[in-house]
Each structure stands twice: as structure tokens, then as C-alpha cells.
Amino acid sequence: MRTLFIKAGILILFFLNWGTMFSQCENVTVESLTNPGIYGVATLTEADGLRDGPAYFGATVYYPTNATPPYASIAIIPGFTASPDSVEAWGPFYASHGIVTIIVGTNSIFDFPEARAEALLDALETLREENTRNDSPLLGAIDEDKFAVSGHSMGGGGAQRAAVLDNSIKGVVALCPWLPSPDLDHSSPVVIFSGQNDAVAPPELHANIHYDNTPNSTNKLLFEIENGNHSVANTPQGGNSSVGQIALSWFNLYVNQNDCYCSLLTEDLLDAPESASNVESSFECEILETQENSSQTLLYPNPTRGIVNISLQQDALYQVYSVTGQLLRSGELKGSFKQIDLSSFSGSMFYVRINDQTFKIAKTR
């Protein structure tokens, strides 16, 4: 009898907390794109042992102090004649949302975009070395498969060129980019910000051409801020904070591969935005939708202590996501007896995606 009451109590608690704790993508909202984010931020410089890269001059790494690694990262460089402090606000912003950020200067303030592209790639090399440096607080904490680049003005043009030079880059954030006649044949998802009244890099001569010259097969977004000048995207607060919100969402969608940000972009941030004078987009993403267990596919037991049986006739691919949309595991379901083993994970809610269906699965301890 006592065992029966215990089991009943567990089920009652489970159902009471189902909707509030585990609904899919519930924490991914416009309100969650705060500045600063929820994590503490610390910094590293060359005085702390950070590598002195030959292609740039001076670097500061901003990193979260209480987030869960491994972390995605972004390298940022300023524009022509500008110093790193002109884009400094992006460091604590990204880091407070769990993203390692390195901001570098240039060997010459007159460096052109190609040199700035090389500087960004060198900055990413510094992060790789920081990931293996024994005395680094980021030892083993950086996901080297999730690197992005960004920059302002000539730095934005350099960020686009860095993606051409290194096809492993997972994302580009170009801030009022300057680069005439650009060769931008790359596959890195890119968001391009511009200012409607930018006299230094007029959109019709730079940002718009950047968008047009980026292949249509590449996920891309152009966001022009109404009445914005050349420095409108130097901080996340640009365009009434729409710049930071869109940049962060784009990063999380394509670099962190969190599909929850797809609907946030398409249904909220880019749906007739008040701060924009022009928006152009050509990108594909997947909007996660949950479905109840159907007659075609049945997952059981639910809740489970580890093994989930899959009632499905045909072979299929599957992915297991955390409640925050992080991909935890993927594989293929084959044969007549199909299972997914969640026993290595702690008790929580998970989302199992099989073909075009997503199922909520609760794992008990």
C-alpha cells in the first residue's frame, strides 16, 4: 500500500509540473533576450596568459562564469580606424547569454577588410588554444565546432570574408559592413545589419550588395534600422534593442542549432518590426511542434526509467533534445525492435523527434 501511495504521489507531482516546467521552448521568448542575460561575466586578456595572436593587436575574452559548458563562441573586430572599445558592448552581452566572446584590435587601424578577416581567424585560433591551456578557466569548455565571426564596418566586411576563407565558421553577424564589390561565396548563415541613413557605408552600396552577393543557398537576413547611422549596430541596444535580440537569436538558431529560435525570429522579431526600414530574408529553419503520441508512432513507457520503446514499422532517424532545445543525441532506429536509451541522462523532460514528429518524454531517476 505504501508503494502505491508513493507512485501515486510521483505521478501527481509529475502532472502538476508538466505544463509549467517542461513545455517546449517555453524559455525562448523575446523577454528572454535581455541585456544583460542571466549569467555572470568575467574577462581574460594577454596579461592572464591569453595567446598573443600575430594577425591582430590585443584581445579580450568575455566568458560566462556560471553557465554550463561546452560554449559556442564568437570573434568580433572593429571598423576602420576604430578601437575595440567601439564594439565592446557585445562582449558582456553575448557572454551573459552563455557565449564566449573574443574582441580583438587590428595591427594597424588602417587595415582593410581582408586583413581583418585574417585577424578574426587568428582570434578563433586563440580560443582553440585557450581550450587546451592548463591554467585557463576555459580549459575544455569551448565547443570548437561552434565558432562565429562578427565585425563593424570594414570589420563586418572582414567577417564575411572570414567565412569565405574558413568554411567551418557556423555564423556571421555583419554590423553595417563596408566592402565594395564583395566576393561572398560562402555557406555560413549571415545576418547583416545596416542603418538607413548610414553615410559611411550606405546600404545601397554595401549591405544590400552584401546580401545580394551572398549565395541564395546560404541562410541570410538583411535588417536595416530606420533612421540608423553607421554606428547603429555597434551595441546590442541599436534599433531599440532589436539588433541585439536578432543577433542573439540568429546565433542560437544557427551556431547553437537551437530550433526554438526559428519561430521567435519569424513570428516575433521579423514580423513587421517597428525599428526596421527594410527587411529581406532568405533562410530556412525548422519550427519545432509537439504532437501527442499517434497511432503511427508510439513511445512507451512514459515516464521511463531509461529505455523508451518505439512502435514504428519503418526505419527512421531520431534526435533527443533537452528542454532548452539542445541536441543531446541522434541516431537511427532500425529493425523490428526499436529503442532509445535515456538511462545515461538525469531525471528530466526530453523531446524526442522522429521524422517529422516530436514527443514529450519524462525520465524518472
Q: Does 356 participate in catalysis according to the annotation?
A: no
Question: In the prediction, which pLDDT does 111 show?
Answer: 98
CA 344 to CA 248: how far, in whole Å? Answer: 31
154 and 110 inside one domain: yes
Residue 13 has pLDDT above 60, yes or no: no
Helices 154-165, 113-130: axis angle to 10 degrees equals 60
Average confidence (pLDDT) over 307-316? 86
* Residue at which a domain ends, from 267, 282, 297: 282
| CA gap 291, 167 in Å, rounded | 36
What pLDDT score does 307 carry?
A: 87
Q: Is the pLDDT of residue 329 over 50?
A: yes
Same domain as 212, residue 321: no
- Higher per-residue pLDDT: 258 or 11: 258
Please check whether residues 87 and 160 belong to one and the same domain: yes
3-state secondary structure of 143: strand
The answer, yes or no, to whether residue 294 has pLDDT greater than 70, is no
**Does the pLDDT value for residue 303 go beyond 80?**
no
Same domain assignment for residues 113 and 258: yes
Q: Identify whether residues 148 and 19 lie together within a single domain.
A: no
Q: Clarify whether 322 is annotated catalytic.
A: no
Tell me what pLDDT residue 83 has.
98
- Same domain, yes or no: 211 and 308: no
Task: Please check the confidence at residue 242 and state whether its pLDDT lies above 90.
Answer: yes
Nearest-angstrom CA–CA distance, 113 and 162: 9
Instruction: Assess whether 258 and 303 both reside in one domain.
Output: no
- Report the CATH number that the domain containing residue 293 is assigned in CATH: 2.60.40
pLDDT reading at 11 higher than 50:
no
Shared domain check, 352 and 275: no
Which one-letter DSSP state was computed for residue 39?
Answer: S
Residue 206 identity:
H
Alpha helices in 77-174 (DSSP H): 90-95, 113-130, 154-165
- In the residue annotation, 135 being an active-site residue is answered as no
Whether residue 24 has pLDDT greater than 60:
no
Tally of structural domains, the chain: 2
The residue written with cell numbers 555583419 in the block is: 174
Read off the pLDDT of each residue in 38-46 and give the average, rounded to a whole number.
Answer: 98
| Per annotation, catalytic residue among 111, 122, 198, 259 | 198
Task: Tell me 172's DSSP state.
Answer: E
Q: What is the pLDDT of residues 86-112, one digit of tens each?
A: 999 999 999 999 999 999 999 999 999
Say whether both 216 and 354 belong to one domain. Answer: no
Q: What is the mean pLDDT of residues 112-119?
A: 98
Q: What is the pLDDT of residue 361?
A: 84
Report the pLDDT value the prediction gives residue 118, as an integer from 0 to 100: 98
In this structure, the answer to whether residues 271 and 294 fall within a common structural domain is no
CA distance 211 to 193: 10
Whole-number CA gyration radius for the chain? 22
Phi, psi of 145 (to 5 degrees): -95, 5
Shared-domain flag, residues 110 and 7: no
Q: Which of 97, 186, 206, 230 is catalytic?
A: 230
Burial of 229 (0-12, 13-18, 19+ CB in 10 A): middle
The residue range of the domain holding 342 is 2-23+289-363
What does the pLDDT read at residue 26? 77
Residue 38 confidence (pLDDT) above 90: yes
Of the candidates 225, 256, 282, which is a domain's last residue? 282
**pLDDT, tens digit, 9 for 90 and up, residues 123-149:** 999 999 999 999 999 999 999 999 999
Q: How far is CA 173 from CA 13, 14, 111, 249, in A?
A: 44, 41, 19, 11
Average pLDDT over residues 224-236: 98
As a whole number of angstroms, the distance between CA 178 and CA 201 comes to 6
Using the predicted structure, report yes or no on whether residue 176 has a pLDDT greater than 50. yes
Domain CATH number, residue 49: 3.40.50.1820
User: What percent of the chain lies above the pLDDT cut of 70?
Assistant: 90
Q: Which of 195, 248, 194, 255 is nearest to 219 (CA)?
A: 255
> Which member of 153, 242, 249, 275 is catalytic?
153
Q: Order across the sheet with 307-311: list the strands.
A: 298-300, 307-311, 338-341
Band of pLDDT at residue 362, cut at 50, 70 and 90: confident
Mean model confidence pLDDT for the chain:
89
Cell, residue 172: 556571421
Q: Residue 102, CB half-sphere, CA atoms under 13 Å: how many?
A: 34
- Across residues 41-59, what is the average pLDDT? 98
Q: pLDDT value at position 17?
A: 39
pLDDT at 348: 79
* End position of a domain, from candidates 282, 300, 334: 282
CB crowding 116-154: b at 16 or more within 10 Å, else e: bbbbbbbbbebbeebbebeebebeebbbeebbbbbbbbb
Residue 333: per-residue pLDDT: 92
- pLDDT mean over 196-211: 98
**Same domain for 65 and 205:** yes
